[in-house]
């Protein structure tokens, strides 16, 4: 089973999502870049590589000037290319998760919910699982296993979340016992 959240290449994506929860609009561009980098590191392809390339037989004419036969041929090729992706999107969430597990992918976060960023990686997962390009699933599994026996370097999403929680609490943390409402020790007259 390939656990996506535990792959080293996913850490920059997950870290950014944790640190900027609630401020997505400011980080969308950076997140997109990190997803592309993670995609290439994990799958050996970028999301754009999962799009159908224009076949060589396509006429060099505007779409409106294509013959009906050319249009039908192109539409059939496009439908065949997109079918696995379309089929996946037509499934319920539970069916999607079951299919990913069946194909050897764990796409859940620590709490058992689908990763918030999974939409940026589904096409690539389907692409490599179907053997359409990129790294083989066997190669990704081997890299995943090798990474699991190494000690993690740098911050993990769990550490970042813990630190972020501490920093969020820092503004409310009392500076002294008196600020926390504790009685101040008194001196005895003596």
Q: How buried is 119 (Cβ within 10 angstroms: 0-12 exposed, 13-18 middle, 19+ buried)?
A: exposed
pLDDT for res 94: 92
| Per-residue pLDDT at 160 | 61
Q: What does the alpha-carbon distance between residue 15 and residue 72 come to, in Å, rounded to a whole number? A: 45
The predicted pLDDT at position 172 comes to: 47
What is the C-alpha to C-alpha distance for residues 33 and 39, in angstroms, rounded to an integer? Answer: 10
Residue (of 8, 1, 3, 2) closest to 34 by Cα position: 8
pLDDT at site 119: 87
pTM (two decimals): 0.68
Residue 106: its pLDDT value, please? 92
Per-residue DSSP letters for 68-123?
HHHHHHHHHHHHHHHHHHHHHHTS-HHHHHHHHHHTTEE-B-TTSSBPTTGGGTHH
H or E segment and range at residue 168: helix 157-170
Beta bridge partner(s), residue 106 = 3
Report d(CA 64, CA 71) in Å as an integer.
Answer: 9
Low-confidence ranges of the chain (pLDDT < 70): 21-27, 147-190
In whole angstroms, give the CA distance from residue 180 to residue 57.
75
Q: Please give the pLDDT value at position 59.
A: 84
């Amino acid at each position: 089973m390939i656990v996506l959240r535990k792959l080293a290449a996913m850490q920059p994506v997950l870290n950014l999502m944790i640190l900027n929860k609630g401020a997505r609009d400011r980080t969308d561009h950076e997140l997109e870049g990190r997803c592309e980098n993670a995609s290439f590191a994990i799958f050996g392809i970028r999301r754009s590589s999962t799009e159908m390339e224009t076949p060589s037989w396509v006429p060099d004419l505007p779409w409106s000037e294509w013959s009906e036969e050319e249009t039908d041929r192109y539409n059939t090729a496009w439908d065949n290319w997109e079918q696995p992706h379309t089929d996946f999107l037509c499934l319920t969430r539970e069916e999607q998760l079951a299919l990913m597990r069946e194909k050897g992918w764990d796409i859940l976060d620590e709490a058992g919910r689908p990763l918030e960023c999974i939409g940026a990686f589904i096409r690539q997962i389907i692409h490599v699982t179907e053997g359409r390009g990129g790294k083989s699933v066997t190669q990704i599994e081997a890299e995943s296993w090798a990474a699991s026996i190494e000690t993690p370097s740098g911050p993990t999403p769990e550490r970042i979340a813990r630190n972020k929680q501490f920093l969020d609490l820092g503004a409310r943390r009392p500076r002294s016992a008196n600020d926390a409402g504790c009685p101040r020790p008194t001196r005895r007259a003596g």
